[in-house]
């Protein structure tokens, strides 16, 4: 279940929680299409999500979003706003996820790193796919 009340407030500084894994993802828009990746590993293997991952030491949520986007897709983008904050329970782990909305800048989208697939799709059509836990709400906010 998504509980937005305990997710962190994003900032330009790094943030650490003792019982939470901080993560960021990025919804890249290119015209009417959004970029999704098919997760290869972990709890979300086989489901579609925005590119993203764990915040590394001394990294901001925004830096994480940009890094993960490039690593997973080869694409760069310009963040325009925060799309939402989500608290996700994953067994013994809890993730504090910040999702950003961005506009495509450059690059050819290719699945890499832990992405098994990649696609540009309308948010409406994306709702028909098997999606990670927070995705329906985030897609609705685009």
Residue 70 falls within a domain, yes or no?
yes
CATH number at residue 8: 3.90.79.10
Residue 130 falls within a domain, yes or no?
yes
Single out the residue of 44, 50, 24 nearest to residue 120, CA to CA.
Answer: 50
Residue 139 falls within a domain, yes or no?
no
Q: Domain residues for 60? A: 4-134
pLDDT at 93: 80
Residue 32 falls within a domain, yes or no?
yes
For the cut 50, the answer to whether the pLDDT of residue 50 exceeds it is yes
Total domain count for the chain? 1
Instruction: Return the residue matching tokens 């999500």.
Output: 49
Q: Hey, which residues does 24 pair with through a beta bridge?
A: 53, 98
For the cut 70, the answer to whether the pLDDT of residue 8 exceeds it is no
pTM reported for the whole predicted model: 0.84
Residue 142 falls within a domain, yes or no?
no
Residue 140 falls within a domain, yes or no?
no
Give the model confidence (pLDDT) of 92-123 as tens digits: 788 899 999 999 999 999 999 888 999 999 99
d(CA 82, CA 113): 24
What DSSP line would sit under 59-110, residue for residue? --HHHHHHHHHHHHHS-EEEEEEEEEEEEEEETTEEEEEEEEEEEEEE----
Residue 73 falls within a domain, yes or no?
yes
d(CA 17, CA 76): 28
Phi, psi values for residue 75, rounded to 5°: -105, 150
Give the model confidence (pLDDT) of 15-43 as tens digits: 444 578 999 999 999 999 999 999 988 77
Residue 42 falls within a domain, yes or no?
yes
């Amino acid at each position: 279940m998504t509980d937005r009340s305990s997710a962190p407030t994003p900032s330009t500084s790094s943030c650490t929680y003792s019982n939470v894994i901080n993560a960021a993802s990025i919804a890249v828009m290119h015209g009417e299409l959004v970029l999704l990746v098919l997760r290869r590993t972990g709890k979300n293997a086989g489901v579609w999500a925005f590119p993203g991952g764990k915040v590394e030491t001394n990294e901001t949520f925004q830096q994480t979003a940009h890094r993960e986007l490039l690593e997973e897709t080869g694409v760069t983008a310009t963040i325009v706003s925060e799309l939402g904050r989500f608290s996700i329970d994953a067994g013994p782990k809890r993730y504090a996820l910040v999702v950003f909305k961005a506009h495509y800048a450059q690059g050819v989208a290719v699945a890499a790193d832990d992405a098994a697939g990649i696609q540009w799709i309308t948010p409406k059509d994306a709702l028909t796919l098997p999606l990670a836990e927070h995705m329906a709400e985030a897609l609705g906010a685009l």
